[in-house]
Chain A
Amino acid sequence: MRAPNFEVRSSESAFARRSAVSAGPSVAPHAGPMQVPLFTGRYIVVFKSKAVDAGARSLNEVAGLRVARTSEFEDVPSEGILGDADALVLERLGAAVISPDPDQLRALRSNIGVSAVHGDVVSSKQDPQNPVFTLSPERVVSIEPPWVESADQVQSAFDPWALGWWAAAPAFAADGSVVTWGLNVTNVVNSRLTGRGVKVAVLDTGIDPGHPDFAGRSITSNSFIPHEPYVEDDKGHGTHCAGTVCGPASPTTLPRYGVAPDVDLHVGKVLDSTGVGADGRILAGIEWAISKGCQIISMSLEAPGTWGNEYDQGFDLVAQRALELGTLIIAAAGNRSLREWFITMPVGSPANCPSIMAVAAIGPLLDVARFSNRSAGPLGGMIDVAAPGVDVDSSFPVPTVRNTISGTSMATPHVAGIAALYAEATGTTGGELWGLLQSRAITLAADPDDVGVGLVQAP
């Protein structure tokens, strides 16, 4: 096997350089789309959720890559420490930077199956057992994206006390024993609205209809997964999201976690039991939700975005059409960032479409969640609003019943539920509903590229 290709300039560590490579746009924010990004010769592998271990093994077993993992190091790995490794697995990011030779690259592509090709990105979609999500060439990007101009500036983004956020935060002192922290900071706790008469579709992994908090409830549902024609939720993700949208006002155990308990819930299963779904299934779910008259569609799903890439015009056409028909699509911005290591990733697809509301995640201190993706400019995708997405307590399939998890997935149904409250109160839909949500949000201390106009607020 040839010598590893983790070249490093001066004393800069290999990992630091790789981090910087992943941290910013490949073109200046004001640059035109015609600028051609350059590639490093290495590749980025993104693993499926919770498949980092299997993915790391597969890099070795399939392609013979010598793999180093960030958990093997106490600090940022340097070139010397990496030794002869030709793959570095960024475990918390769920990705790897690899330096394959042509034979190894062919082996990896063959193993993925090349079932879907987006420009220069290869992704596996048919084989749920394959731990690799995408394989793409590593781009050369700016090593100093705007938000890391100053270390103090970065620190301040994580220090809400220093920035006086509390002056604007409503009901924050509530202890969370009666309602979740998310319902507190979004003012849902003080709202008398319940979403009655509003149809909301949650397009996700399905729902546990036998959950005690949904027992006896009328739920319109459909599965769009051919090999899983049932709507039952084998993963739990969809049940959690649906719970946040419309869990009961009086759940079997406190705290209350549902934003709009009386909405007319529609559940479309567009992700399979591994949490994966092709975009044709998602489009079918959108079509179904619109056909059912849903005013709001909540989609806690994403495909990773890439700095310098543009949003999908086909998906945006669909979202424009939905808005014209009175349906607001709200989607998760994605969880690919690793902010404690100064790595930010761009808004994922389809949230990066201008006609889809992109939701970032914040934590209980109203700071940006470490994983939450970031705006990538008008062509790459913008964060529109933020909502609670860290340590979110909601329903989960029995026997677990309740679970506390984090993600922009968890923030998205908060926004969908609050949108339902506005729709109930005002009768507005589509673009007007979008405008209401944004105009009533409270400004946060964080960078608008991270949180959009701020934290959504219930009417």
Chain B
Amino acid sequence: MGQFDSSSSEQQAVRVVVRNRDEFDAKRQELAAAGLKVDEVMPIIGAVTGTISRRDLKKLDAIEGVEWAPQGMFEAS
């Protein structure tokens, strides 16, 4: 359970928050270089959403100063 198939080219929706907002633009470039296809840029909160192939997910781990997670789901409570 919970293990990504790292050989898969299947796309994973993720969201990324940059720890230091002053580095937001630089981190966006690093994310793009890692293979993230950005859907939405949210500069005020320092976040982006996008998709990335599962085989490239490890590249996100290698980027310092960001918190990323697969996109989850919320419900009305």
Task: Tell me whether A and B are bound partners.
Answer: yes
Question: From residue A22, how far is it (CB to closest CB) to chain B in Å?
Answer: 18
1/0 contact string of A307-331 vs chain B (CB within 8 Å): 0000011110110011001000000
Distance in angstroms between the alpha carbons of A279 and B19 in the assembled complex: 18
- Name the interface residues of A9-60: CB closer than 8 Å to any CB of B: 48-49
In the assembled complex, A290 has its CB within 8 A of some CB on chain B: yes
**Does A118 lie within 8 Å of B75, measured CB to CB?**
no
**Does B72 lie within 8 Å of A278, measured CB to CB?**
yes
Contacts A125-B71, A314-B69 given; indicate if A321 touches B45 (C-beta within 8 A).
yes
Question: From residue A282, how far is it (CB to closest CB) to chain B in Å?
Answer: 6
Contacts A125-B71, A280-B13, A314-B67 given; indicate if A407 touches B77 (C-beta within 8 A).
yes
Nearest-CB residue, chain B, relative to A408: B77
Main secondary structure of the interface of B (DSSP, over half): strand
Nearest-CB residue, chain B, relative to A332: B77
**Does B77 lie within 8 Å of A120, measured CB to CB?**
no
In the assembled complex, A122 has its CB within 8 A of some CB on chain B: yes
Question: From residue B14, how far is it (CB to closest CB) to chain A in Å?
Answer: 9
B residues in contact with A301, CB < 8 Å: 74-77
In the assembled complex, B42 has its CB within 8 A of some CB on chain A: yes
- Name the interface residues of A272-316: CB closer than 8 Å to any CB of B: 275-280, 282-284, 286-287, 290-291, 300-303, 312-315
Question: From residue B67, how far is it (CB to closest CB) to chain A in Å?
Answer: 4
In the assembled complex, A375 has its CB within 8 A of some CB on chain B: no
Interface bin, chain B: 20 to 34
**Does A278 lie within 8 Å of B2, measured CB to CB?**
no
Interface bin, chain A: 35 or more
In the assembled complex, A121 has its CB within 8 A of some CB on chain B: yes
**Does B70 lie within 8 Å of A116, measured CB to CB?**
yes
Distance in angstroms between the alpha carbons of A325 and B75 in the assembled complex: 26
**Does B15 lie within 8 Å of A280, measured CB to CB?**
yes
Number of A-B contacts (CB under 8 A): 133
In the assembled complex, A256 has its CB within 8 A of some CB on chain B: no
In the assembled complex, A168 has its CB within 8 A of some CB on chain B: no
1/0 contact string of A117-132 vs chain B (CB within 8 Å): 1111111110000000
Central interface residue in B15, B21, B74, by most chain A CB within 10 Å: B74
- Name the interface residues of B46-77: CB closer than 8 Å to any CB of A: 46-47, 49, 67-77
In the assembled complex, A199 has its CB within 8 A of some CB on chain B: no
B residues in contact with A279, CB < 8 Å: 15, 69, 71-74
Distance in angstroms between the alpha carbons of A332 and B15 in the assembled complex: 22
Q: List 6 A-B contacts (CB under 8 A).
A: A205-B76, A278-B74, A279-B74, A287-B45, A314-B69, A321-B45
Residue positions of B touching A, CB distance < 8 A = 1-2, 4, 13, 15-17, 19, 21, 39-40, 42, 44-47, 49, 67-77
A133-B75, A283-B45 provided; 9 other pairs, C-beta below 8 A? Answer: A118-B69, A120-B2, A125-B71, A278-B71, A284-B42, A318-B17, A318-B47, A321-B21, A321-B45
